[in-house]
Amino acid sequence: MINKSDFCVVYYIQEYKPPIRKNSKRDLFGYQPKSGTHLAYEYARKKDKIVINLIDTCL
């Protein structure tokens, strides 16, 4: 979708991180999953797309 677009509209808060998850109840340590919005935001920037972050327009 990003490849076929001229611009990308996101609602991305840079400080947000998804909750830490565990693979199973017996795991001692969890892992930090990546935010899908962050991945899309970075990909669009890498592809030189115009990125419109709605969080910037709401503040």
What are the tens digits of pLDDT across the range 12-49? 888 888 888 887 777 777 888 888 899 999 999 999 99
Q: What is the pTM of this model?
A: 0.71
Closest C-alpha among 43, 52, 38 to residue 2: 43
Half-sphere exposure of 7 (CA within 13 A, CB side): 7
Which domain, by its residues, includes 59?
1-14+33-59
**Residue 50 domain-assigned (yes or no):** yes
**Residue 20 domain-assigned (yes or no):** no
Domains contained in the chain, number: 1
**Residue 21 domain-assigned (yes or no):** no
**Residue 7 domain-assigned (yes or no):** yes
The DSSP result for 5-56, as a single string, is -SEEEE---TT--PPPB-SSTT-SS-B-PPPHHHHHHHHHHHTT-EEEEHHH
